[in-house]
A and B are shown apart, each in its own frame.
Chain A
Amino acid sequence: DTEVTQTPKHLVMGMTNKKSLKCEQHMGHRAMYWYKQKAKKPPELMFVYSYEKLSINESVPSRFSPECPNSSLLNLHLHALQPEDSALYLCASSREGGMNTEAFFGQGTRLTVV
């Protein structure tokens, strides 16, 4: 199993909603990541969960909050989002903590905030 599974694939939410994106991997990887990708732009790192330690890109607003229930799961909780948060949200994992090893990406969740 070399897959990173993200659910849902598509999500439309209002600005007052609370929703969660889920990400799961069963490769025994020790690091998981959330990226945000806007159209025609490269993925931008939001959060890293590596060896049970969370690292945050400080430019990410607090309306995004990650949660790591166990080493195979990394959720992204969304609350009071803005229309400009509409993007493709990508989850990734890597064997070691650090993207200098091959990272496996999920197919992404296409989020639309209305």
Chain B
Amino acid sequence: DQQVKQNSPSLSVQEGRISILNCDYTNSMFDYFLWYKKYPAEGPTFLISISSIKDKNEDGRFTVFLNKSAKHLSLHIVPSQPGDSAVYFCAASRRDGQNFVFGPGTRLSVLP
């Protein structure tokens, strides 16, 4: 049973437009959420995180929104750039860092 779901395996967006990547979770014990980006032949790199006491966290072009009642979070990238093309993993954990789970990933392609 997948505790963290990313229902879109892939997403294509035009350069300059907004990319929205979605993530759903089932475990109500999760209260810390992270996004990682992964290029081919490299390890994942941390992008942005949000704790359950917030509903929004922003860092430059990246914003993560959390809707706890819906158990849903999303990553917004605006404006999208070709260098953002990568696989994006949503991840979740409990506050103590235990039970850390990655979602299956969404491959984002930003077209010039």
Contacts and interface: CB of A to CB of B under 8 A. Distances in A.
Contact of A100 (B45, B93, B104, B105): B93
Given A41-B104, A42-B103, A42-B105, A98 B98 contact: yes
Interface residues of B, number: 23
Given A43-B89, A99-B91, 11 more contacts: A42-B103, A43-B44, A45-B100, A98-B96, A100-B32, A100-B49, A100-B96, A101-B97, A103-B46, A106-B43, A108-B42
A97 B94 CA distance: 12
B97 A100 contact: yes
Contacts of B42: 107-108
B32 A105 contact: no
- Chain A interface residue number, banded: 20 to 34
A90 B46 contact: no
Contact of B97 (A92, A97, A107, A110): A97
Nearest to B30: A100
Contacts of B97: 94, 96-101
A53 to B, nearest CB: 13
A90 B95 CA distance: 23
A92 B97 CA distance: 14
A31 B10 CA distance: 32
Interface in B72-110: 89, 91, 93-98, 100, 102-105
